[in-house]
Structure 1
């Protein structure tokens, strides 16, 4: 399936939500087409380049999202909120004349549901603390704190990790492996490095 690709400096995983501001004509046109066709697009993490402008290098695994809200913002830009649906691999990509990236994607297998093991008991507590922040709370995301996928996905999105690490965590297909890596990263953050 051919879908628009939206390179960002942040990631989103299934069931996650992020607000976006659209101002470039190519993305406003993309939004109109997505709404008209009742379909989403794929958010991909930038390797190099900026979110604005034509030159961008990005990873080949991203997340198919759907638009769940849109409104005109006070600053005159168009604001949308998207929700992650499924991780996808980009099998082919190209750029239109207007600079919009397009790609053919394959949906990756859904991760197996798993309870959070006792050895990771701290991680849901960290996530609960992050969800008390007004910006996160205002996104209205539902979280199952007993589901290893949900806990790992939300921590991957919300923790202050470098983008290469976030991408590695996104690409993992084993929720328990993701939790183990997040626990290591949290211990490193708490230890100051």
Structure 2
């Protein structure tokens, strides 16, 4: 499928939500087309540089998202909230004359649903604590704290990890491998505080 690509400095995964502020004409046009055609776009993580860069280098594994809400913000910008649907790989990408990145993408195989094993029971507790933060609570996300995929996806999005690490976690297709890595990273974070 051929879709617009939206390079960001953050990761979103299936069933995750993120608020965005749009001000560049290329993205406002993209939003208008997506709403008119009832389709989404793909959020890809920037490898480096600012989100407003014209020639952005980005990773080729991202998430197809749909717009679930939009409103005019107090600062005059257009605010949207998107929700992740499925992880994709960008097979080919190019830039249109208006600067919008577009690409051909293929959906990745859905991760297998599985319960959070006993050895990772600290992870859902950490996630519950993060979900008490007002900014996260406002996103009104449904989370299944027993599903290893949901716990791993939300922790990948929300923990203060460097973006290369977030990308590595996002690219994993095994939810238990992701939980194992998150457990290691959490121990490092706890050791630093």
Give the TM-score band, short-chain normalised. Answer: over 0.9
Worse overlay, 46-55 or 152-161: 46-55
RMSD: 0.7
The runs of 4+ residues in structure 1 deviating greater than 3 Å are: none
Partner in structure 1 of residue 28 of structure 2:
28
CA displacement at 1:53 relative to structure 2: 2.8
Structure 2 unaligned spans of 5+: none
Partner in structure 1 of residue 5 of structure 2:
5
CA displacement at 1:50 relative to structure 2: 1.2
Q: Deviations over 1:21-73 (max 9, x none)?
A: 00000000000000010000000000022111302100000000000000000
Partner in structure 2 of residue 155 of structure 1:
155
Q: What number of residue pairs does the alignment pair up?
A: 193
Partner in structure 2 of residue 38 of structure 1:
38
SS, match of residue 192 in structure 2: coil
Distance, in Å, in 2 between the alignment partners of 1:48 and 1:93 is 17
Give TM-score scaled by structure 2 length: 0.99
Structure 1 contact 49–55 (Cα < 8 Å) conserved: no
User: Is 1:145 matched up with 2:145?
Assistant: yes
Partner in structure 2 of residue 67 of structure 1:
67
Distance, in Å, in 2 between the alignment partners of 1:181 and 1:169 is 8
Distance, in Å, in 1 between the alignment partners of 2:122 and 2:48 is 34
CA displacement at 1:85 relative to structure 2: 0.1
